[in-house]
Amino acid sequence: MTANAKPTTPEEAIDPARALLPAVQRVNETRVRVGFWPKMGRVAARIPFADQLVSVYYAARDPQTPMAAKGIMMGALAYFVLPVDAIPDVLLGIGFTDDAAVITALLATLGANVKRRHREAAERALDRLR
């Protein structure tokens, strides 16, 4: 993929080597802006890591979060939003395991960027969804 090319696969959307390319960032931000809340509305009650996802969403949109962390976070959120990924979300019981693994890995490496205010905002948002 060239510096100006859009990511075409889920792996390209979350690849840390590509997540900070401007074209990839634009695509990921658009995917997240358009698809995140509609998908959360459909699945929040079924996934145990919804609070972590929404916390990452708020951290990724926070102007105080470093740009490099935002790029990786948006890639992970875009992966969640994508309808087709490594394990299709429609597979009952296992469909979101790959998404959970991506968020878990992200939090293991960039979790310090997810602040208490992001977790509190996530809790309030999920209370409204459920």
First to last CA, the chain: 40
Asked whether 50 and 44 are in contact (CB, 8 A), the reply is yes
Residue identified by tokens 């009650």 is 45
The model scores a pTM over 0.85:
no
pLDDT digits (tens, 9 = 90+) for 10-64: 566 566 677 778 888 899 999 999 999 999 998 898 899 999 999 999 999 999 9
Residues in the chain: 130
Phi-psi region of 93 (alpha: psi -120 to 50; beta: other; left: phi over 0): left
- Side chain identity at 67, as an amino acid letter? M
Average pLDDT of span 66-75: 94
pLDDT exceeds 80 at position 98: yes
Asked whether 6 and 82 are in contact (CB, 8 A), the reply is no
Average pLDDT of span 100-125: 96
User: pLDDT tier at 1 (50, 70, 90 boundaries)?
Assistant: very low
How much is the mean pLDDT over the chain?
85
Q: CA of 17: how far to CAs of 2, 3, 101, 119, in Å?
A: 12, 11, 18, 27
